[in-house]
Chains A and B, each alone.
Chain A
Amino acid sequence: MAHLLILWPMSGSISLSGPRLTGFLCVLLVVSAHASRDAVSGNNETWGSPARATQGDPHHQNSSTTHRKAFPVLSFNYDHVKTPFEISLWILLALLMKLGFHIIPRVSSIVLESCLLIVVGLLIGGIIKAIKQTAPVLDSKLFFLYLLPPIILDAGYFLPIRPFTENMGTILVFAVVGTLWNAAFIGGMMYGVCQIEGAQLGHVDLLSCLLFGAIISAVDPVAVLAVFEEIHINELLYILVFGESLLNDAVTVVLYHLFEEFSHAGIVTVGDAFLGVVCFFVVSLGGVMVGTIYGILGAFTSRFTSHTRVIEPLFVFLYSYMAYLSAEVFHLSGIMSLIACGVTMRPYVEANISHKSYTTIKYFLKMWSSVSETLIFIFLGVSTVAGPHAWNWTFVIFTVILCLVSRVLGVMGLTYIINKFRIVKLTKKDQFIVAYGGLRGAIAFSLGFLLTNNEMKNMFLTAIITVIFFTVFVQGMTIRPLVELLAVKKKEESKTSINEEIHTQFLDHLLTGIEDICGHYGHHHWKDKYDAYVKRWLIVGERSTEPQLISFYNKMEMKQAMMLVESGSAAKLPTLMSAATLQNIQQKGVPSRRAIPSISKSREEEIRKILRANLQKTRQKLYSYRRHDLVMDPFEDNVSEIRFRRQRAEMEKRMSHYLTVPANRQETPSVRKVCFEPENKVYTYDDSESPRGRAAQPSPRLPDAISLLSKSPQRPNQTSALRAKGSTELRAKAPDEQEEQDQVKLSRCFSDPGPNEEEEEDGSFLS
């Protein structure tokens, strides 16, 4: 019956036909399920034999001695599928909610999705309570084993490594020292509050307060992700807060277990405290070690998956999940293990797996983490309504205030110390955002849920829920306008241009070299050594020697090529021009034709979007010619290869044109009556002066470059001998490129090229 009532509000609130239809279907199904279930119990007879139903005792299973049962044409057995059915229904509902929010235009821009989901959970919980059913509660086991890992894996796998490692010191200080400070401050002050007369809190002892402090002090990665995803803050702040929320898990685990043990034991000795410190190191480093081991295993496995590409994603998921579970077995920090596994595995796996597997991994992770997050917030709402509460004004209000105060003090104090060691200092604005972004979430709730049942537990739970609600609703919703107000630097549209990439690499090597000269083994040095040795073991074959720059460049070209195919004519530069003279071009005032091919805006956006992703991406199939992969690939390979080579050649031609031909050419306009045309347009030009004219004619594609190239030796002054060498080199290269292209082009000239091919050949890297 509960299901019935849940569906009604949903179908009423969403004004689309799709969900409503689904809702109605669900309603029908469930209504019939319930109706039948109530009527028919333990009896599998059908409606085909109503006489039987009226006859005997419904609970009395009649055997074939007196009556003969008719063959059940249609039978009903809900219990059989009850559990998976309910689970699926819940997940489906949650996702339909999510869908609904994004369709209603105004809501999603004002209110955070997580807030809406909690509200929905509250509603559902309220409804369930109203009909006096037992609501599904956010069971800790369900949370920690099923709902949390996908989110953490998703976050860890796509963690931006460079900012993370660059700010590792800061993040660790915030995570460890900050959380300890929070726990101590809140626990201690709450104990002081509990001593206040008249608050009826005298029964709360110090250890319980400290335990409570430990639970409530940790910044929650789920909530942080949910909020920070939507405000697009700059990378540094994001990685600081998010990194802290991930790494403080070790502290939380240790403190939680420590205080729980102590509160049972009753007294604390110095030895116990010392053991606690040791335990912290064991938990955190052990977790990282477990994760790294599984990560290396995963990377090593991926080296051999070239023959079974289809199951590649599963290895990633399973190794990571095993890392998490293995860490949890020993009470090590599962979150840190999962992060370590993802981070370790990623560069090697991505070098080894196919592009499709990479896409699969990406999408599955995003999907699972999205579902998990939605479910977590809804369950949080439901559990709020359902759970037993013990409201105590003093306790709750002081908890909220102390959380805020301790966070602010902690961040400010730590930043003061940290800034002495940082090169890029944290400004006051940064500190404010870091402090304000310290949200609590479902992890605190689940930990509270795990407490042993005593009279304090309900009070603690109430306080925890209040803090969570406060942080998510108040802080989460106001952080966006505050970010705007304070003009905090937003996430930059990173134009990772090839020049920046070159210089990043160059700088890396330069700094390593300088460190070596100084005799100081800094982290550049170690990173270099690590790269050199480890990669050899974990990456297939020749790819292990391939530097980042080549992968980056190839990836860009591949994306460019793909974009050209997919984008169609809309994003291209307008190039449909007949053979026109230079004057014509100039008079038409379309400078882009003759200028350096500049990127059109939409193309630029696409390129940037793609380039913004992490650079250690999957190797495209440029150098692997494996044919027995999925069927489409061989074709793709061929086409890509040719495309790349042609693009590259074309670009070289353009380069030589713009960059090597000196300024004082004396060319007749007729020779220059060429432009970058789509290949199936034949146009004439006066090539009498060009020695390559004959060769160039059948391939109308690159006439300009070739003819101009041929002109260059006649130039009187070459300001640099190198330039002449460069151009002759190119010229010598041209015939090779050309023959190959001739063949392809001829075949295409004579067959109908079709719009796609025309477009895909027309572009070069930048156009």
Chain B
Amino acid sequence: MGALQSLPGQPEHIDLAEKTGFSLEQIGVLHKRFRQLSHNEETLRRDHFNEIPDLACNPIRAQIIEAFFDKRNYRQNGEGTVEEISFEDFLVVMSHFRPPSVHMTEEQRESVRREKLRFLFNMHDTDNDGTITLEEYRHVVEELLSRSGALGKETAKGIADAAMLEVASISVGHMEPDEFYEGITFEHFLKLLNGFEIESRMNIRFLNMDTTTLCK
């Protein structure tokens, strides 16, 4: 605590800590990283993210970056996208990746699950209409396979189609002949990834120590 007291903006950190659940040390580290990424400006923009070299070879880079600028992830029930984000928004998005705490009731665990799955859903549902359509899903799979070149594009279609069929069969089962499957709603998405144990898998170990100087 002593080292942090010299940093400016300390009381904000305490608010943020309460809001997002990070510890003060973690917030300090992330703040430093934020400043490093934004070249000491107050807000981050998309091109700041594009400058991260490690991120360049990530196939789903665009979607990850988009996720930071997506207002749906700010837990304020907003919609649409923004052009630049503040540290608070950055932190809120990061908080989706916090490991769940040890002692949680079933409801808390369930709500953590929903939250994380909601994040994933928002990443897939790019046009913000509440469903993941076939095209959007195809796009997801194509991005995943984007490193395989032309081969990937063709197979991506097949995979995405198979996946949608599976979702439909799990969620809807039997459809009337004149129905068709609009897209994956959030409820279907939850049902689909029921066995996925996302609350234990979608986590990053946030460090209390500062290692940002070692990385780019």
* Interface residues of A, Cβ cutoff 8 Å to B: 419, 423-425, 492, 494-495, 497-500, 502-503, 505-507, 509-522, 525, 528, 532, 542, 545-547, 549-550, 553-554, 582, 586, 591-592, 594-599, 648, 651-652, 654-655, 657-665, 672, 720, 722-723, 725-726, 765-766
Q: Which residues of A contact B107 (CB under 8 A)?
A: none
Q: Which of B9-17, B74-82, B162-170 contacts A (4 or more CB under 8 A)?
A: B162-170
The smallest beta-carbon distance between B207 and chain A, in angstroms, is 6
Cβ contact within 8 Å between A514 and B165: no
Q: A518-B212, A542-B151, A723-B135 are in contact. List 6 more A-B contacts (CB 8 A).
A: A494-B195, A512-B58, A519-B211, A554-B155, A651-B162, A720-B127
Cβ contact within 8 Å between A655 and B134: yes
Top-8 shortest CB links A-B = A519-B212, A516-B54, A595-B174, A513-B64, A655-B161, A722-B135, A591-B174, A519-B215
* Proximity string of chain B (186-206) to chain A, C-beta cutoff 8 Å, 1 when within and 0 when not: 000000110110101111111
> What is the bound-complex CA distance between A393 and B10, given in angstroms?
69
For residue B36, CB closer than 8 A to chain A, the reply is yes
Q: Which residues of B contact A594 (CB under 8 A)?
A: 175-177
Q: A503-B120, A519-B36, A659-B181 are in contact. Are A766 and B204 (CB under 8 A)?
A: no
> What is the bound-complex CA distance between A651 and B196, given in angstroms?
26
Cβ contact within 8 Å between B193 and A661: no
Q: A547-B145, A550-B155 are in contact. Are A520 and B135 (CB under 8 A)?
A: no
Cβ contact within 8 Å between B193 and A499: yes
Q: Which residues of B contact A512 (CB under 8 A)?
A: 58
Enumerate 30 A-B pairs (CB-CB under 8 Å) in ascending A order. A494-B195, A502-B144, A505-B144, A506-B140, A509-B59, A513-B64, A514-B97, A517-B52, A518-B204, A520-B205, A522-B204, A545-B147, A591-B174, A592-B174, A595-B173, A596-B173, A596-B175, A597-B165, A648-B158, A651-B162, A652-B158, A652-B161, A655-B134, A655-B165, A657-B180, A658-B165, A658-B175, A663-B179, A722-B133, A766-B169
Which residue of chain A has its CB nearest to the CB of B52?
A: A516
Q: A596-B168, A596-B169 are in contact. Are A423 and B203 (CB under 8 A)?
A: yes
For residue B172, CB closer than 8 A to chain A, the reply is yes
Cβ contact within 8 Å between A511 and B202: yes
Cβ contact within 8 Å between A500 and B195: yes
> What is the bound-complex CA distance between A597 and B181, given in angstroms?
13
Q: Which residues of A contact B134 (CB under 8 A)?
A: 655, 659-660, 723, 726
Q: Which residues of A contact B212 (CB under 8 A)?
A: 518-520
> What is the bound-complex CA distance between A592 and B133, given in angstroms?
23
> What is the bound-complex CA distance between A514 and B195, given in angstroms?
23
Count of B residues near A, CB < 8 Å? 76
Q: Which residues of B contact A661 (CB under 8 A)?
A: 180
Cβ contact within 8 Å between B166 and A654: no
Cβ contact within 8 Å between B140 and A514: no
Q: Which residues of B contact A502 (CB under 8 A)?
A: 140-141, 144, 159, 163
> What is the bound-complex CA distance between A723 and B164, given in angstroms?
14
Which residue of chain A has its CB nearest to the CB of B183?
A: A659
> What is the bound-complex CA distance between A654 and B166, given in angstroms?
12
> What is the bound-complex CA distance between A506 and B206, given in angstroms?
20
Q: A517-B49, A532-B57, A547-B145 are in contact. Are A651 and B155 (CB under 8 A)?
A: no
Cβ contact within 8 Å between A550 and B174: no
> What is the bound-complex CA distance between A665 and B166, given in angstroms?
24
Cβ contact within 8 Å between A521 and B174: no
Cβ contact within 8 Å between A766 and B180: no
The smallest beta-carbon distance between B6 and chain A, in angstroms, is 21
Which residue of chain B has its CB nearest to the CB of A733?
A: B157
Cβ contact within 8 Å between B159 and A507: no
Q: A546-B148, A553-B158, A596-B175 are in contact. Are A507 and B215 (CB under 8 A)?
A: no
Cβ contact within 8 Å between A499 and B192: yes
Cβ contact within 8 Å between B204 and A553: no
Q: A492-B195, A518-B94 are in contact. Are A597 and B102 (CB under 8 A)?
A: no
The smallest beta-carbon distance between A735 and chain B, in angstroms, is 17
> What is the bound-complex CA distance between A665 and B120, given in angstroms?
33
The smallest beta-carbon distance between B86 and chain A, in angstroms, is 15
Q: Which of A507, A542, A591, A657 contacts B201 (CB 8 A)?
A: A507
Q: Which of B163, B180, B206 contacts A498 (CB 8 A)?
A: B163
Q: A510-B60, A596-B169 are in contact. Are A547 and B99 (CB under 8 A)?
A: no
For residue B21, CB closer than 8 A to chain A, the reply is no
> What is the bound-complex CA distance between A554 and B145, given in angstroms?
14
Cβ contact within 8 Å between B175 and A663: no
Most interface-central of B30, B192, B195 (chain A CB within 10 A)? B195
Cβ contact within 8 Å between B144 and A553: no
* Proximity string of chain B (50-81) to chain A, C-beta cutoff 8 Å, 1 when within and 0 when not: 00101101111100100000000000000000
> What is the bound-complex CA distance between A658 and B161, given in angstroms?
11
Q: Which of B36, B37, B152, B161 contacts A651 (CB 8 A)?
A: B161
Cβ contact within 8 Å between B33 and A518: yes
Cβ contact within 8 Å between A652 and B157: yes
Which residue of chain A has its CB nearest to the CB of B210?
A: A519
Q: A500-B196, A520-B211, A594-B177 are in contact. Are A549 and B165 (CB under 8 A)?
A: no
For residue B1, CB closer than 8 A to chain A, the reply is no
Q: Which residues of B contact A722 (CB under 8 A)?
A: 133, 135
> What is the bound-complex CA distance between A766 and B203, given in angstroms?
33
Cβ contact within 8 Å between B200 and A424: yes
Q: Which residues of B contact A519 (CB under 8 A)?
A: 33, 36, 211-212, 215-216
For residue B214, CB closer than 8 A to chain A, the reply is yes
> What is the bound-complex CA distance between A766 and B158, given in angstroms?
12
Q: Which residues of B contact A598 (CB under 8 A)?
A: 169, 173-174
> What is the bound-complex CA distance between A520 and B202, given in angstroms?
16
For residue B106, CB closer than 8 A to chain A, the reply is no
Q: Which residues of B contact A532 (CB under 8 A)?
A: 57
